[in-house]
Structure 1
Amino acid sequence: MSLPRRIHRILGWCLILPFFVWALTGLVFFIKPGYQAAFSYLVVKTYPINTAIQLKPQPEWQEIKLLQTVLGTHLMVKQAGSWQQLSPKDFTVRPQPSADDLQLLVKDAISVDPKRYGEQLLKTEQGFVTDTGVQIQLDWASLSLSQQGKDTELINNLYKAHYLQWTGQKTLDQVLGVLGLILLMLTTVVGVRLLIRRC
């Protein structure tokens, strides 16, 4: 067996696992099964505003949001690139309410999709978790929600596997990624040389 064929065979053996992972995860990314639920956008449930509010925008306010939820009226202003929730009455910073009120707000939000979020909601140190295993975080300043279930975690792990992020250590994963690309290019170059010789 010639040296180029030996090199090509060795490189092929080295790339068997990465090729298998790339093909499998690439198929998942192409079909996107379960993506809609896994990355669905969860928002607080809003209602018609039932009270009149006199707003006096300040020069430093870049954006203003006025919403009505189960907890009442919310005034959010954006200044210096960050959101802040203010009291609609005197425009002072509105403190985060009790855990029970936050739970009421989140529970009202997840009621739109009981199939994904279930019926029960528990408070944790990281945020909230539903009886279906979906973790939910609430940013009180912007009144925004984020959710992540087991399906979200699985798809994120598939992305990591696809890009050879196998160790969890950024530097080592970058080395693996570069090494995988180098081996792929070498395999291609040697394969093309063998093909040209045969022709």
Structure 2
Amino acid sequence: MKSRKMHRIIGMLLILPMFGWVVTGFIFFTKPGYEGAYDQLAIKTYPLQRAFVIPPEANWLEAKVVKTILGHHLLVKTKDGFEHLDPISYQPKKLVDGEALQLLINDTFLHDPQRYGVVASIDGNQAITNTGVEVSLNWSQLSLRQSGQDTALINLLYKIHYLQWTPFKEFNQIFGFFGLMLLILLTLFGIKMVISTKPKRA
């Protein structure tokens, strides 16, 4: 089969992937909406109003006291992970209930109310705002993670770009490898066509 015909066939097979690569590549380069979609949401803290004595525990790698709208928290890192303790009793601090959790999260939203709005519903340590943003609380580290419709859209674009077009991981890997091989073949046949059509010297 001639190089020109193979080049045409491979080019037709790559129409959709190439279109996806161009569109998503432009979006990844310009990054519209990335700031909000991947905003590092952090619990709002306040200055400590009193001093705390942190006992020297052999298994504590790090320890810090922070104050939120709910009061004071002792956050400890050990070799086994993280612990959230009461800074007075040093006992594990239980996850707050829905009303207190709503107060904690809404207090954090004050820096960007247009994106986050207010908490509309809570299920365990998960909250959904009236603007459609999903927020999850890691109580042991007292940290938050957020994702909105824009986050989901950008993640979808990444899947399109890397040819992750199905819910099957193994198939996506094979499909992605096949797409790269076609792209390499398209380039090789293109080079061969250029060389073969180069005018010969007399």
**Would you say same fold, with TM above 0.5?**
yes
Instruction: Tell me which moved more, 126-135 or 68-77.
Output: 126-135
For the residues of structure 1 that align with 2:80 and 2:188, how far apart are their CA atoms? 49
1:59 Cα shift? 1.4
Q: Is the 8 A contact 2:119 2:127 kept in 1?
A: no
Q: Is the 8 A contact 2:42 2:144 kept in 1?
A: yes
Task: Provide the residue aligned with 1:135 in structure 2.
Answer: 134
AA in 2 matched with 1:4: S
Q: Deviations over 1:14-43 (max 9, x none)?
A: 001000000000000000001011111111
Task: Provide the residue aligned with 1:58 in structure 2.
Answer: 57
For the residues of structure 1 that align with 2:98 and 2:105, how far apart are their CA atoms? 11
Q: Is the 8 A contact 2:66 2:74 kept in 1?
A: yes
Q: Deviations over 1:38-93 (max 9, x none)?
A: 11111111111112211112111111121000110000000015111011112121
For the residues of structure 1 that align with 2:65 and 2:136, how far apart are their CA atoms? 21
TM-score of the superposed pair, with normalisation by structure 2: 0.94
1:148 aligns with 2:147: yes
Task: Provide the residue aligned with 1:166 in structure 2.
Answer: 165
AA in 2 matched with 1:134: V
1:124 Cα shift? 3.1
For the residues of structure 1 that align with 2:40 and 2:34, how far apart are their CA atoms? 11
Task: Provide the residue aligned with 2:175 in structure 1.
Answer: 176
Q: Deviations over 1:131-174 (max 9, x none)?
A: 11000000000000000000011001000100000002100100
Q: Is the 8 A contact 1:64 1:77 kept in 2?
A: yes
1:95 Cα shift? 1.4
Aligned CA-pair RMSD: 1.2
Q: SS in structure 1 opposite 2:111?
A: coil
Task: Provide the residue aligned with 1:99 in structure 2.
Answer: 98
For the residues of structure 2 that align with 1:137 and 1:120, how far apart are their CA atoms? 12
> How has the CA–CA distance of structure 1 residues 194 and 22 changed in structure 2, closer, same or farther, with 3 Å as cutoff?
same
Q: Which runs of 5+ in 1 are unaligned?
A: none
For the residues of structure 2 that align with 1:102 and 1:125, how far apart are their CA atoms? 9
Q: Which runs of 5+ in 2 are unaligned?
A: none
For the residues of structure 2 that align with 1:165 and 1:126, how far apart are their CA atoms? 30
For the residues of structure 2 that align with 1:46 and 1:120, how far apart are their CA atoms? 19
Instruction: Tell me which moved more, 21-30 or 57-66.
Output: 57-66
> How has the CA–CA distance of structure 1 residues 70 and 126 changed in structure 2, closer, same or farther, with 3 Å as cutoff?
closer
For the residues of structure 2 that align with 1:191 and 1:40, how far apart are their CA atoms? 43
Instruction: Tell me which moved more, 12-21 or 104-113.
Output: 104-113
> How has the CA–CA distance of structure 1 residues 55 and 126 changed in structure 2, closer, same or farther, with 3 Å as cutoff?
closer
Identical-residue share of aligned pairs (%): 43
TM-score of the superposed pair, with normalisation by structure 1: 0.96
1:194 aligns with 2:190: no
Count of residue pairs the alignment pairs up: 198
Q: SS in structure 1 opposite 2:90?
A: coil
AA in 2 matched with 1:60: N
> How has the CA–CA distance of structure 1 residues 65 and 132 changed in structure 2, closer, same or farther, with 3 Å as cutoff?
same
Q: Is the 8 A contact 2:118 2:129 kept in 1?
A: yes
